[in-house]
Structure 1
Amino acid sequence: MAKKENIASVLAFEKKLIPSDGYMYGTTWENRNTVTPLKLQEKSVRGTISNRLKSAIKGDPAKLNAEVEKANLQRVDSCALAPEQDTLKLHFSLKVLGGIPQPSACNNALFKQSYSAAAKDYIAREGFRELARRYALNIASARFLWRNRVGAEQIEVVVKVLNKESEQEWVFDATQFTTRNFDADDSQVNQLAGRIATVLSSDDDFLVLDISCYAKVGRAQEVYPSEELVLDKGKGEKSKILYAVDDIAAMHSQKLGNALRTIDTWYPAFDDLEESAGPIAIEPYGAVTNLGKAYRTPKDKQDFYTFFDGWARGEKLDRIVDEHYVMAVIVRGGVFGESEK
């Protein structure tokens, strides 16, 4: 248990990977320089009853027919390429920041000193090389396309460094990289990872990347912007609302960020064929909301706080991968204050 004089009840870290929103455009694979902003379209559809029915209805064919006859009218947003277009372009920027050893807020000087020493020791030994390699592979593999990646015949990712006097560019064939692991060894990925690692290891440096991704999904095919959270479903006019900025279909910066930090293959169940969810996003409790499961629990002593509380006070962790995980959560950012009680 930490001594009372070494407890930071106020502790916060700013995120170090900062994506913009992603903007969506339609184009053709042969002429990718000519693009058209994609707009949302509203549809009014009549669906069928497909939810589970009460026992009384299931056992009575007449009541079942009555239910089926009821109209299931819906108004929804959708987004698709134009009839002459076969390729989706997703464009966003990514800023990478340094300054990991310094919390953005900390109300305990003793804790701040011990944490900074632990962070600097990690940087001296590891230099963020493994984390940066995984971030770079997530960019190269176009993991950030999410559902738009499925069924794409060809995917090209163009990454440009926008920093003045240090411009650089890489072009990746995303289909050559899997999203199931991080075993790939590619010279261009390693170059991009080197730029990211250098900045993450710095005191106050920064890197700005311009990322354009082209996915050949098929003529007039539907594409998938982010979906807005509808808090009053059933009361509003539409049951599905998609995200757009200035009439351009878009993906939330949070969704892009989640894809970039999907690098956690170190949680206990990863190697279990029945339990594994594949790589998961870096989270303090390994939360995967669509599966309704936390893969890093305090009970198993695999969560961020179990590792961080000792490590930040000078204790050594048993495995280097646990250090990678702790530092990845700090790159993610958040408020991690500890109660003195």
Structure 2
Amino acid sequence: MELCTQLNYVRSLSTGKAYFYYLSKSDEMCPLGIDRTRLRAPKGGYAEAYKGNSFVEKNIAPQDLAYSNPQFIEECYVKPGVDYIYCAFPLRVRANSLTPDTCSDNEVRSKLSLLAKTYAELNGYQELARRYAKNILLGSWLWRNRECRKLSIEVTTSDSQTLIIENVTRLSWYGHWDEASAECLDKLTVYLARALSDQTEYFYMDVKAKIGVGWGDEVYPSQEFLNEREDGAPTKQLATVELLNGEETVAFHGQKIGAALQSIDDWWHEDADKPLRVNEYGADREYVIARRHVSHGNDFYQLVRNTENWIETMTASQIIPGDVHFIMSVLIKGGLFNCSKAK
């Protein structure tokens, strides 16, 4: 199957902004404010003293490397007296991977829809749902804030289920889950699997983390991307969202939350030691390398070309290959998968 010139899938997992707050003694939601700090950072970069990549020394005086580098940045810290902070976000789930949103070739649409149908009949969405559920319940979406004194996660689904996991930091992606935590994982997996494969209902959930902190601990929200430097403005700015009382609190961008939930791809190698964020070429930011480089033959575009073969293989064996799990995870992520016109 060759890709067509117009092919688009709408993402199935839509996260909102995650907002941080703490509760007052009267249970009123209070913001985590921003501190603006001016500091003198020492010069320690390679380019301060060397040119290029061959250790060519610059003609600088010893005093030049002792001067400070003034910076103006934004930071966020827990207020003294606050023992717990909260971070919460909404998640909408739609079964958008069942068929393309836009497709200029009816044959391609038919084959991709049949792939999703076969995948659903073999309970493939159960595997993906379990992985998304793990990232939700592990608090992977908290990023650096997950390293805390105590952590619990609460999930409330649209069918009125409330799932709570205590002592989350003792759980891990590949490790053993205790009975109570495993039960929550199973329930959320069933819910997500249904949401990813059923277009007749509207599915959503609210996710909240309760984070045990020390007084004065630093909080790590999203940073805003700055195209250019403005005079008098901090060079590092934190993302915010406005609470109902009009005050601003620090926040995570929805894209950062989504990136954590999408970190489920450990099909990239039979000996993979970690799940990557779902990406057409398996981008591994830690090692700055593409784990699904085109030379390996396991990138999304080469795999999805074999859609007919995958359908035949699954129908005959009743087994879902890891490559198909990966294909469907990319379709759940959504995006434009157009093939350029031949010139």
The answer as to whether partners of 1:284 and 1:305 remain within 8 angstroms in 2 is yes
Range with bigger deviation, 109-118 or 226-235 = 226-235
Query: Map of 1:164-243 to 2, 5 A cutoff?
Result: 166-173=159-166, 174-179=168-173, 181=174, 184=177, 186-233=182-229, 237-243=233-239
Q: Give the alignment partner of residue 149 of structure 1, picking from 142, 146, 151.
A: 146
Q: Matched residues in 2 for 1:310 and 1:32: separation?
A: 59
Q: Give the alignment partner of residue 65 of structure 1, picking from 42, 51, 63.
A: 63
Identical residues among aligned pairs (%): 26
For 2:245, the equivalent position in structure 1 comes to none
Range with bigger deviation, 53-62 or 215-224 = 53-62
SS at match of 1:88: strand
The Cα of 1:101 is off from its aligned counterpart by 1.9
Q: Matched residues in 2 for 1:311 and 1:261: separation?
A: 22
> Does 1:118 find its partner at 2:111?
no
SS at match of 2:81: coil
SS at match of 2:39: strand
For 1:328, the equivalent position in structure 2 comes to 329
The 3 A distance-change label for structure 1 pair 33 and 285 is farther
For 1:48, the equivalent position in structure 2 comes to 42
The answer as to whether partners of 2:96 and 2:332 remain within 8 angstroms in 1 is no
The runs of 5 or more residues in structure 2 that have no matched partner are: 243-247
For 1:92, the equivalent position in structure 2 comes to 89
The Cα of 1:334 is off from its aligned counterpart by 0.5
In structure 2, give the amino acid aligned to 1:323. Answer: V
Instruction: List per-residue Cα deviations over 1:165-189 (Å, max 9, x = no partner).
Output: x21100012123214x376471111
The 3 A distance-change label for structure 1 pair 144 and 295 is same
The runs of 5 or more residues in structure 1 that have no matched partner are: none
The Cα of 1:43 is off from its aligned counterpart by 0.7
> Does 1:10 find its partner at 2:3?
no
Instruction: List per-residue Cα deviations over 1:169-212 (Å, max 9, x = no partner).
Output: 00012123214x37647111100110000111113433110111
How many residues get paired? 324
Q: What TM-score, normalized by structure 1, do the two folds share?
A: 0.87
The Cα of 1:293 is off from its aligned counterpart by 1.5
In structure 2, give the amino acid aligned to 1:218. Answer: G
Range with bigger deviation, 219-228 or 169-178 = 169-178
For 1:338, the equivalent position in structure 2 comes to 339
The 3 A distance-change label for structure 1 pair 60 and 105 is closer
In structure 2, give the amino acid aligned to 1:113. Answer: S
The 3 A distance-change label for structure 1 pair 54 and 117 is same
> Does 1:301 find its partner at 2:297?
yes
Q: Matched residues in 2 for 1:37 and 1:324: separation?
A: 40
Instruction: List per-residue Cα deviations over 1:145-176 (Å, max 9, x = no partner).
Output: 001012x1210101001x3xx21100012123
The answer as to whether partners of 2:11 and 2:96 remain within 8 angstroms in 1 is no
SS at match of 2:33: coil
Two-structure CA RMSD over aligned residues (Å):
2.7
The Cα of 1:60 is off from its aligned counterpart by 9.9
Instruction: List per-residue Cα deviations over 1:247-284 (Å, max 9, x = no partner).
Output: 2110000000000111111112753xxxx5x2211111
Range with bigger deviation, 53-62 or 241-250 = 53-62
In structure 2, give the amino acid aligned to 1:238. Answer: P
Q: Matched residues in 2 for 1:290 and 1:237: separation?
A: 30
Q: Matched residues in 1 for 2:211 and 2:339: separation?
A: 45
Q: Give the alignment partner of residue 134 of structure 2, picking from 134, 137, 148.
A: 137
Q: Matched residues in 2 for 1:219 and 1:146: separation?
A: 20
Q: What TM-score, normalized by structure 2, do the two folds share?
A: 0.86
The answer as to whether partners of 2:87 and 2:208 remain within 8 angstroms in 1 is yes
In structure 1, give the amino acid aligned to 2:128. Answer: L
